[in-house]
Amino acid sequence: MMNKIPKGWEVKKLGEICEINPKTEILLLNESDEVSFIPMASVEAETNIFTESKSKFSKVKKGYTKFRDNDILFAKITPCMENGKICIVNNLKFGIGFGSTEFHVIRPNKNTLSKYIYYFVSQISFRQMAQIYMTGAVGQRRVPSKILENFKIPLPPLSEQKAIADKLDDSFAKIENAITNLINAKENLKLYKQSVLKSAFNGDLLPNTSPTHWEVKKLGEICEKIGDGLHGTPSYNDDGEYFFINGRNISYPYLIINNNVKRLSSDEALKYKKDFNTHTIFVSINGTLGNIGFYNNEKIILGKSVCYLNLKDNVNKYYIFFNLKSNEFLNYANLKATGSTIKNVSLQAMRNFEIPLPPLSEQNLIVAEIDRRFAIVDKTLNLIDKSIQNAKNLKQSILKKAFSGELRSKI
């Protein structure tokens, strides 16, 4: 990265131009004074945005990381480090703050600009290198402070650091504005999808359909059976043929079955086996509500967080699927759910959900039109996602140019 640097620049170790995890002097504060507190969750990934809360000095004076205005907080633990939870802290009450012990604090010296260092450590290439040297057990791996101290950085004079940082600020602001517009476009397309579903079930989606002859049926009336899975804990077998399915395994169009799914032997599964067919829909009704998928001839045993709907033959399963993906169902499920921390929708509530039901021939036409419109939306959403990723890649490309000295002539 630093084979060639401009004339007048130096190559320094980060520890030569910054203090890593320095001591922070605390002014005379009262135990009851409110001070700035920044937990890990309050730092956004790759944006230099943080949200501070307030805490009593007595509660945070011990056992937390201390820092002051213009310090850089760098997440040292996985996956926060890889995700880019990094920020420059400023406008702290009393000029000091307290936060997660999973932050490294980087404090530039008087000839080094905080924003310049922030942009340098924000590079994906920097974080990838830091990741290589992480230590600790899986899930608790951390970047040692020595890795930061010994990392080499190209350093121009202070005035040029500021010029580079200002240009990066300007370029990134434009890119972030573009990303925001793309994200807003995604949200509008999601709203459009819901408007399509609302029109479909009001009878307004197709010109030749009339809801005057539709029926309103409870879900229990259009299903042969509605049930849920095992409420206890079965005996698992790593070599078993049956998969134990919970709400997190429910995803359109079919179930997610991977190496993390627990297994049951055939003998154990026989105690809990239910009858499913090509007209079966699975819906998560505990914890995360409204995940939906279809049965695809898998050997499965359901957990209690999954409801299964065995539809009657005169119903298009995709018509019911789209009903269950509508805001009407999600609002109904949240209204009927019990539990404050973990929400649960009862089978009786599922049976009582009302669906406007046209004849099967009209169900088929409505499903075809929803599919047609959603296909266009999904194609657009994919293009937007690619554009967002391209914008993020552009930021990294600009950073690379900045620290090789190309920024002045390229931007």
Q: Identify residue 89 by its one-letter amino acid code.
A: V
Task: Count CA within 13 A, CB hemisphere, residue 224.
Answer: 15
Distances (CA, A) of 368 to 93, 207, 322, 375, 382: 59, 14, 11, 11, 21
Query: Helices (H), strands (E): how many in the chain?
Result: 13, 19
pTM, rounded to two decimals: 0.79
The pLDDT of residue 1: 47
The pLDDT of residue 228: 94
The pLDDT of residue 360: 94
Task: Count CA within 13 A, CB hemisphere, residue 226.
Answer: 19
Provide CB contacts within 8 A for 2, sequence distance 6+: 11, 152, 154, 403, 404
Token match 């698992």: residue?
Answer: 236
The pLDDT of residue 350: 97
The pLDDT of residue 3: 61
What is the mean pLDDT of each successive set of 10 residues along the chain, which is 411 residues long? 78 96 89 95 94 94 95 97 96 95 97 97 95 90 96 95 95 96 97 96 88 93 95 91 92 87 93 92 93 93 95 95 95 93 94 96 96 97 97 94 77 44
Mapped onto helix, strand or coil, the DSSP state of residue 29 is coil
Which residue in 251, 248, 347 sits closest to 294, CA to CA?
A: 251
d(CA 33, CA 61) in angstroms, rounded, equals 11
d(CA 143, CA 132) in angstroms, rounded, equals 9
